[in-house]
Structure 1
Amino acid sequence: MSDTNPLLARVHHVAIIASDYGRSRDFYTRVLGLTVLAEHYREARQSYKLDLALADGTQVELFSFPCPPPRPSRPEACGLRHLAFAVGDMDVVVERLLGEGVAVEPVRLDEYTGQRYTFFQDPDGLPLELYEAPREGV
């Protein structure tokens, strides 16, 4: 594989299973502002599938299933650690989340990149990160 033609091109989507579909749907669409691409109820699975998009085209699939088991995320459990969103202006996004009643950790500075970042959680406690990307990288 050459550097100009990597095996993996980009992240297409991240799938999330919600314990309360309506609550998580509101959080990801209204609070975080993701765009709804499609929404389907799958009768055979008694499950919703909601396709959401970020501005760059990356998608988040939000699922509901009857009685999903909880997934530990704290203390640091093995597996996916968190989902990070690039933002252009950390202060604006943090203020918006706080205005919606979302608890946000204090903003920190990445010791290696010098960029600001912070963490918050979705309604099911999934750790989410805001990463203030350089203007050309947003």
Structure 2
Amino acid sequence: MTVPLLTGIHHVAIIASDYARSRHFYHQVLGLPIIAETLREARQSWKLDLALPDGSQLELFSFPAPPARPSRPEACGLRHLAFRVTDLDGVIAHLQRHGISVEEIRVDELTGRRFTFFADPDGLPLELYEAES
């Protein structure tokens, strides 16, 4: 029996242009619990560790004047960050109550699962992918 090289995703790191705005979005709007929040004074940078229910984490960073990056779902590089949800319609309604635009629901032609895209405060493409309940 061989041991897998990779056993899961530990974290995804995001650099925000406006730390307070993105902190509110990921913690308050998306409801991710805070694990730790650290001011790294030497780097003039905040680091916010947020928990996902499966044990993975989202790291939110601030840096002075970060360069812009293409953020469309079809841009070259990391395409998007997808969150697994069990009630796609309920999550969409929650986001819309917070004034967040959500694209039309699509159906994955390979799996038959429903999904949609929305964006974080910096325009980072985020996906909601409906999994089995």
Alignment root-mean-square deviation, CA = 1.1
Aligned to 2:10: 12
Aligned to 1:106: 104
Query: Among residues 44, 49, 52, which one is paired with 1:51 in the alignment?
Result: 49
Distance 1:101 1:12 in 2: 30
The unaligned stretches of length 5 or more in structure 2 are none
Deviations 1:24-79 (A, max 9, x none): 00000010010100000011000000000111111000000000011112373211
Q: TM-score, normalised by structure 2?
A: 0.96
Distance 2:43 2:81 in 1: 26
Q: How many residues are paired up? A: 133
Q: After TM superposition, what 4+ stretches of structure 1 lie above 6 angstroms from structure 2? A: none
Q: TM-score, normalised by structure 1?
A: 0.93
The unaligned stretches of length 5 or more in structure 1 are none
Aligned to 1:66: 64
Query: Among residues 63, 73, 90, which one is paired with 1:92 in the alignment?
Result: 90
- Identity fraction in percent: 69
